[in-house]
Chain A
Amino acid sequence: MIDADTLAALLAMPAVQRAALGLFLGAVGLPLVGVVIVGLDIMPVRFAMMHVALLGIAVGLLTGADPTLCALVACACAGAAVSPLADRPGGLSGGMGLLMSLAMAAALLLIAVSGTNAASAFALLWGSILSVRTVDLVILGCLAVLVPGLLVRFRRQLALLLHDRELALVSGVRVRWFTLVLLVIVAVAVAGAIRLTGALLVDALTILPALAARRLGSSLTSIAAWAVVCGLVSTAVGFALALLLDLPPGPVLVLTAGLLAVAAHLLPERTHRAWHRTPHSSDPSS
């Protein structure tokens, strides 16, 4: 464990400050993306996007363009391209298996053809929180504003869509449009989180806070609020522990968020006596 002086010196470093800012922005937007992933039951989509992110990185390495931006564009395009599959009876699962295989094969082929070191492409998948750049902060900042804004503005429609796609459709919700937007956001979020925890550990900031919040909240609004709280708490505690114990931040963040999710599920289920009241029993005159 490091001493207080070393901790203070670490916190004064611009790289650490940028990492903390990146984590804060990520902890606001990414858990809400996790709520969408859990709500739409599209876990395979994020796996597929991790593979697509690798393809984007490979394209970046081949062309000399920024690999993270290439991953972002590739994921956004893939998210938009797969959204029509959500209307199919089989949903997105089958298509995601195909996308994963094709994206990984294409990425490996590009890396081989370009003659670049495959390890450098895979290194980006593991992330490096202390190498967060301005462009990464901009992406995370956009997500931190856009995703909560979307949830607040369209909470009625999204609540219905996440609950039951058909009911949303017949209630006049623009299901295809919302699905397209949500899938693009999920894809961009996966790519955007690469620098923080790496694509392979993106669950720490998306799914795990959402899983904890799913247990604690009873509606979209309350689940979203709990997800942000859980995200902020787990990233703050995880990052502080990583600095104090001089451990790699990515795995510590995942373990912290995971423990929080487990703790939330160990809490006894809430009982709501008020739910069992009849209109008469809640009437003081009766």
Chain B
Amino acid sequence: MPPPGAGIRIESLTCDHGPVRAVDGVDLDIRAGSRVALVGTNGSGKSTLVRAVLGLHRPSRGTVAVDGHVARTARDWARRRRECAWIPQRQSAGSFPLLVRELLDGGGRGTESARDAAADLGVGHLLDRPVATLSGGQLQRVHLARVIGRVAAGAGVVLADEPTAALDFDARRDAARHLLCLGVTTLVVTHDPDLAADCDRRLEMAAGRLREVA
């Protein structure tokens, strides 16, 4: 049985990029195990919101609690990052070479499951390739496999930032199926209407503010 996931509670979250307000007083409650799509135009603050959950962007104001815990110390953040698995929007090929197997092994948690998922997603034969030699779609599937491994190792939240943007139509449906069947709390930033439609809730961000979409 996969873990049921952890709830996310965001209160009055405000994030700034210098003089630009990216997230403006957002309140959000995501029930444990639910799947939420976050849509909106480029620059509306979606990625910043996700990065704030992971502590990659320091909020100007407000709190983010995952599984009831607000991270304040380095130990809290380490726990938060164990709890959350992330598919980054900027899937950097990195300046220093990294093999696909090293990306899947990263952090040493859920490696076997990640490799199984990679095989299932059609990228299992790429283990010995440097990630810089992968296409955008291949890299996106490797990141998805990595997240599946993390969930198998106990992560209760998946934060996916445009996880299907570089995929072809069939691969997009396949990736969406894998992502939404994980059985954990999933917050997915997407411009893919089909993926958004398959989620339990749809939220739209505009100019840093959030609203529920029917």
Residues of A within 8 A of B (CB): 38-39, 41, 156-157, 159-160, 162-164, 166-174, 176, 217-220, 223, 272, 274-275, 277-279, 282
Contact = CB atoms under 8 A, between A and B. Distances in A.
B105 to A, nearest CB: 5
Given A172-B78, A172-B81, A41 B95 contact: yes
B56 A166 contact: yes
A73 B29 CA distance: 51
Interface centre among A156, A168, A274 (most CB of B within 10 A): A156
B21 interface: no
Nearest to B102: A159
B98 interface: yes
Interface residues of B, number: 32
A223 B86 CA distance: 28
A282 B56 CA distance: 41
Contacts of A156: 102, 105-108
B108 to A, nearest CB: 6
Given A170-B54, A274-B128, 13 more contacts: A38-B96, A39-B95, A157-B107, A159-B98, A162-B98, A166-B56, A167-B92, A168-B106, A169-B56, A173-B107, A217-B97, A220-B102, A277-B125
B103 A160 contact: yes
A151 B57 CA distance: 30
Contact of A218 (B86, B97, B106, B108): B97
Nearest to A38: B96
17 contacts: A156-B106, A160-B103, A163-B97, A163-B131, A164-B92, A164-B94, A167-B88, A167-B94, A167-B103, A170-B86, A171-B81, A172-B108, A173-B106, A219-B130, A220-B98, A272-B129, A278-B125
Contacts of B131: 163
B99 interface: yes
B86 to A, nearest CB: 5
B96 A163 contact: yes
Nearest to A35: B96
B101 to A, nearest CB: 9
Contacts of B107: 156-157, 160, 171-173
Contacts of A217: 97
B40 interface: no
Contact of A166 (B84, B88, B97, B126): B88
A220 B97 contact: yes
